[in-house]
Amino acid sequence: MTTINDIAKMANVSRTTVSRVLNNNGYVSESARKRVMKVVEETGYIPSVSAKSLRTKRSGVIGVILPKISTETASRVVGGINEVVSKEGFQILLTDTELNHEKEIEYIRLLQSRHVDGIILLATNVNDRLLHAIEESKLPFISLGQELPGVTSIVYDDYHAAVDMTTMILQKGHEKIAYIGVGEEDPAVGVLRKKGFMDTMEKAGITVEENWCSYGDFSIESGYESMKQIINSNRENPPTAAFVVTDRMAIGAMEYLKEQGYRIPGDIAITGIGAAVMSKYITPPLTTIDYFNKDAGSKAAELLLEQLQGKNTRKKITQNYRLIKRDSV
Amino acid sequence: MTTINDIAKMANVSRTTVSRVLNNNGYVSESARKRVMKVVEETGYIPSVSAKSLRTKRSGVIGVILPKISTETASRVVGGINEVVSKEGFQILLTDTELNHEKEIEYIRLLQSRHVDGIILLATNVNDRLLHAIEESKLPFISLGQELPGVTSIVYDDYHAAVDMTTMILQKGHEKIAYIGVGEEDPAVGVLRKKGFMDTMEKAGITVEENWCSYGDFSIESGYESMKQIINSNRENPPTAAFVVTDRMAIGAMEYLKEQGYRIPGDIAITGIGAAVMSKYITPPLTTIDYFNKDAGSKAAELLLEQLQGKNTRKKITQNYRLIKRDSV
DNA sequence: GATGTGTGTGTAATCGATTCCATATCGCTT
DNA sequence: AAGCGATATGGAATCGATTACACACACATC
């Protein structure tokens, strides 16, 4: 490996001057600059980022903590983040918690040890130890998808999205609406979306029977099973519509209904949330809500870069959404 | 920031001893070890990876270069890589070339400057400058998706996959088979899959009319447009089947056909390649080929780790595949 | 001619770890 | 009693950059 010292010797200057040339600061004569550049190009010298970041305490790396790496949402968000930070010369260091809350904390510390300049967390839960770890890290921090107290957060408007969707279903004349959700460990998807649905139903004067509710784990299969359960336990009084909290589970639910010969939306209407690419191409195309995940990622990145420049703006931003009406309801 | 020196002072030992405790090597008395561990835990000390990797020339980071970050294939592969490397304590540093070949080279150098321990490249093309950059980097290197001479490569068996698929279409009695592909800049998808198709057709004694071929850019929309073009320019002699080189384009093609009232597979049969999640849930479910992308990613990671351990095994591995017969043909 | 200001360059300390080498103590063998 | 190996610890060099500081020179100003 060639180092800055080698370059200095070859160009007949001190390493200080080489550093100045490379970083474009301080006074350097034109002749010295040229000599250095020439040697740098000839040797293909690449400065050591470890040494640099040991000295400067900055690494040019943004840490991203994902709940699950290979999901459509995650890859959209990461795409959005990357689009913004790569322009500024930053790289992304990816970590995947596999939905393990302990790992969130572990990774914050790990990213910290790697001297990342900031962290974006796709949050799925809130707890004190997590908040404490964030506080301790003293790093610019963005939470995406859940609001974390004291941390700049970008949240989806889960409550109102669910309200709008439910309202629309009601307007179509449905009254017997089933609910397929996820567990309440997830404050956004599990709690807020449910609350939006329930509140709206209540306001319409409709009570949601407990056996019209079922819960899955985000997977397509769990959507299938949830719908199966609802249908089986309501043979004599089946719902005419189902509000499903994610597109994937909605697709699973549709799969079961189609298998059983139900017509969608004729016999049962279905809605999802998330605007998965798939939602547009299944039959019938799924009515869903677009959360603009990529934009949310970009936004998160922008806020992080702002914080990096010292603007200490602790904010909460609510990402907007769009109801996409298609043929499933 | 607390450093190793602070810990040393607080535990009343030299920093040498602290280092030995943390890295579990050399002789350390039980009492010293306990004192050090106690202080480490109390302070929440996190060693600086920059300093460590400056000294040791290893960073615990694997660089991954993707052609496009937010695609199903990319996220599956990254998931596979992550599963393997995270177990060994490595992190992933992600870069996205946005299909720009110059950036591939740029990123190799950049990753090198970050002292990554190895690189996995999802290759989309081959050229001398790329090979040169890889050679220069002197890093453990894996190419995934294309064979790079002199570099350990994991390739999909594009040729035989295409052959098998074409054979199956022929066995179903089709003779008028359209082809929807991508440009030949992509040696794997653009060239190999086409060759597999063409060779098989030729062997069956069927010439493929030039106006039964159309080319897209991997997007769903381009599949739609390609099919539209084929249908429009063959009004009097339409094909009865179409071999499409990716699932997404196949889905676009189906979209057009459905819109125009064609029955699939009754009027026209369709096949894809890639086993996108979506392929299973559209109507009719798409016959396609599963390349086991996640396994390929894991395999790449394993080979890289092997190389890191000095086993300098330059190999070429051909990933197997599976034809998934569904209802679109 | 003294003083100040703008350029240009180098010396040396520094960042936070690892690791080679030296040193010390202890128990055991010959 | 001398010598040896195992255990335990610390001193100091080292990795490759950045940067505070000192110095030197040229030129303008009063």
| Cβ pair B281:A70 closer than 8 A | no
pLDDT range class, residue A315, cuts 50, 70, 90: confident
- Strand pairing report for A91-96 and A241-244: unpaired
Give me the sheet containing A213-216, strands edge to edge: A213-216, A177-182, A241-244, A269-271
pLDDT computed for residue A137 by the predictor: 86
Which bases of strand C sit closer than 7 A to a protein CB? 7-12, 14-20
CA of A55 to C1' of C14 (A): 8
- Give every CB contact of residue A282 below 8 A, 6+ residues apart in sequence: A251, A254, B278, B281, B282, B283
Give B93's strand partners.
Answer: A93, B63
Query: What one-letter code names the amino acid at A72?
Result: E
CA of B204 to C1' of D15 (A): 65
Which residue bears the tokens 């850019």?
B217
- CB-based contact B246:B274 (threshold 8 Å): yes
pLDDT computed for residue B317 by the predictor: 92
Q: pLDDT tens digits, residue range A50-72?
A: 999 999 998 899 999 999 888 88
- pLDDT above 90 for A2: no
| Cβ pair B78:A94 closer than 8 A | yes
**A57 CA: nearest nucleotide by C1':** C15
User: Cis peptide before A238, with omega less than 30 degrees from 0?
Assistant: no
Q: pLDDT tens digits, residue range A294-308?
A: 999 999 999 999 988
Chain A, 25-44: which CBs lie within 7 Å of strand D? 25
Q: pLDDT tens digits, residue range B170-204?
A: 999 999 999 999 999 888 999 999 999 999 999 99
pLDDT range class, residue B4, cuts 50, 70, 90: very high
Residue nearest to nucleotide D9 (CA to C1'): B17
Residue nearest to nucleotide D14 (CA to C1'): B55
Cα dihedral sign for B123, B126, B127, B129?
A: positive
| Cβ pair A69:B79 closer than 8 A | yes
pLDDT computed for residue B212 by the predictor: 92
pLDDT computed for residue A100 by the predictor: 87
Nearest to A86 among B46, B96, B220 (CB): B96
Query: What one-letter code names the amino acid at A296?
Result: A
- For residue A255, CA distances in Å to A56, A225, A237, A288, B314 come to 55, 10, 21, 16, 46
- pLDDT above 80 for A314: no
Which residue bears the tokens 């190389």?
B307
- pLDDT above 90 for B71: no
- pLDDT above 80 for B313: no
**For B48-57, what is the mean pLDDT?**
92
Question: Distance between CA atoms of A22 and B110, rounded to whole angstroms?
Answer: 15
Phi/psi at B66 (nearest 5 deg)?
A: -110, 150
More reliable by pLDDT, A281 or B125: A281
Q: pLDDT tens digits, residue range B29-52?
A: 999 999 999 999 999 899 999 999
CB < 8 Å to A326, chain B: none
Question: Which of A212-216, B94-98, B176-180, B225-229 is the least confident region?
Answer: B94-98
**B58-157+293-320 against B158-290: fold identical:** yes
- CB-based contact B274:B71 (threshold 8 Å): no
Kindly list the domain boundaries of chain B, sorted by start residue.
4-47, 58-157+293-320, 158-290
- pLDDT above 80 for B312: no
pLDDT computed for residue A98 by the predictor: 84
| Cβ pair B91:A92 closer than 8 A | no
For the domain with range B158-290, which CATH number is right: 1.20.1600.10, 1.10.530.10, 3.20.20.370, 3.40.50.2300?
3.40.50.2300
Query: B160 beta carbon < 7 A from strand D?
Result: no
DSSP-derived 3-state class of residue B253: helix
DSSP-derived 3-state class of residue B50: helix
Pure H helices in chain A: 4-11, 15-23, 30-43, 49-56, 72-87, 101-113, 128-137, 158-171, 193-203, 220-232, 247-259, 277-281, 293-308
Q: Which of A213, A199, A217 lies closest to A124 in space, CA to CA?
A: A217
- pLDDT above 80 for B236: yes
- Strand pairing report for B322-324 and B288-290: antiparallel
- pLDDT above 90 for A246: yes
pLDDT range class, residue A258, cuts 50, 70, 90: very high
Q: Provide residues of B within 8 Å CB-CB of chain A.
A: 44, 46-51, 53-54, 59, 61, 69-72, 74-76, 78-79, 82, 86, 91-96, 109-110, 112-115, 136, 220, 251, 255, 277-278, 281-283, 294
pLDDT computed for residue B124 by the predictor: 86
What is chain A's alpha carbon radius of gyration, rounded to the nearest angstrom? 26
Residue-averaged pLDDT of chain A? 92
- pLDDT above 80 for B314: no
Percentage, residues of chain B above pLDDT 70: 100
Which residue bears the tokens 């974390």?
A148
| Min Cα separation A53/chain B (Å) | 6
pLDDT range class, residue B279, cuts 50, 70, 90: very high
CA of B18 to C1' of C23 (A): 19
Q: pLDDT tens digits, residue range B113-139?
A: 888 999 999 998 888 999 999 998 888
**For B62-89, what is the mean pLDDT?**
91
| Cβ pair B91:A96 closer than 8 A | no
pLDDT computed for residue B136 by the predictor: 86
Cα dihedral sign for B124, B115, A300, A307?
A: negative
pLDDT computed for residue B98 by the predictor: 84
pLDDT computed for residue B185 by the predictor: 86
- CB-based contact A281:A251 (threshold 8 Å): no
Pure H helices in B148-191: 158-171
Q: pLDDT tens digits, residue range B207-218?
A: 888 889 999 999
Which residue bears the tokens 């690449």?
A46
**For A237-260, what is the mean pLDDT?**
95
Question: Distance between CA atoms of B24 and B46, rounded to whole angstroms?
Answer: 16
Question: Distance between CA atoms of B283 and B185, rounded to whole angstroms?
Answer: 32
Which residue bears the tokens 């809130």?
A126
- CB-based contact A302:A82 (threshold 8 Å): no
**For A146-152, what is the mean pLDDT?**
91
Q: Which of B62, B76, B118, B121 lies closest to B96 in space, CA to CA?
A: B121
- pLDDT above 80 for B310: no
pLDDT range class, residue B249, cuts 50, 70, 90: very high
CB < 8 Å to B91, chain A: 93-95, 110, 114
**For A263-274, what is the mean pLDDT?**
94
Kindly provide the b/e burial profile for residues A27-51, where b requires at least 16 CB atoms within 10 angstroms of the residue's own CB.
Answer: ebeeebbebbeebbeeeebbbbbbb
- For residue B88, CA distances in Å to B91, B237, B291, B298, B301 come to 9, 58, 26, 13, 11
- pLDDT above 80 for A23: yes
Which residues does nucleic strand C approach, with CB less than 7 A? Answer: A 12-17, 20, 26-32, 51, 54-55; B 1, 3-5, 15-16, 19-20, 22-23, 25, 46-48, 51-52, 54-56
pLDDT computed for residue B318 by the predictor: 94
pLDDT computed for residue A68 by the predictor: 86
CA of B30 to C1' of D4 (A): 24
For the domain with range B4-47, which CATH number is right: 1.10.260.40, 3.90.230.10, 3.40.309.10, 3.40.50.150?
1.10.260.40
For the domain with range A59-156+293-320, which CATH number is right: 3.90.870.10, 1.10.1500.10, 3.40.50.300, 3.40.50.2300?
3.40.50.2300
Give A271's strand partners.
Answer: A243, A287
**For A29-52, what is the mean pLDDT?**
92
Query: A255 to chain B: nearest residue by CA?
Result: B281
Q: Provide residues of A within 8 Å CB-CB of chain B.
A: 44, 46-51, 53-54, 59, 61, 69-72, 74-76, 78-79, 82, 86, 91-96, 109-110, 112-115, 136, 220, 251, 255, 277-278, 281-283, 294
For the domain with range B58-157+293-320, which CATH number is right: 3.40.50.1980, 3.20.20.140, 3.40.50.2300, 3.40.50.300?
3.40.50.2300
Q: pLDDT tens digits, residue range A162-177?
A: 999 999 999 999 999 9
CB < 8 Å to B56, chain A: none
- CB-based contact B92:A93 (threshold 8 Å): yes
Among A56-60, A124-128, B251-255, B314-318, the range with the most confident prediction by mean pLDDT is B251-255
Q: pLDDT tens digits, residue range A86-127?
A: 988 898 888 888 888 888 998 998 888 888 999 999 998 888
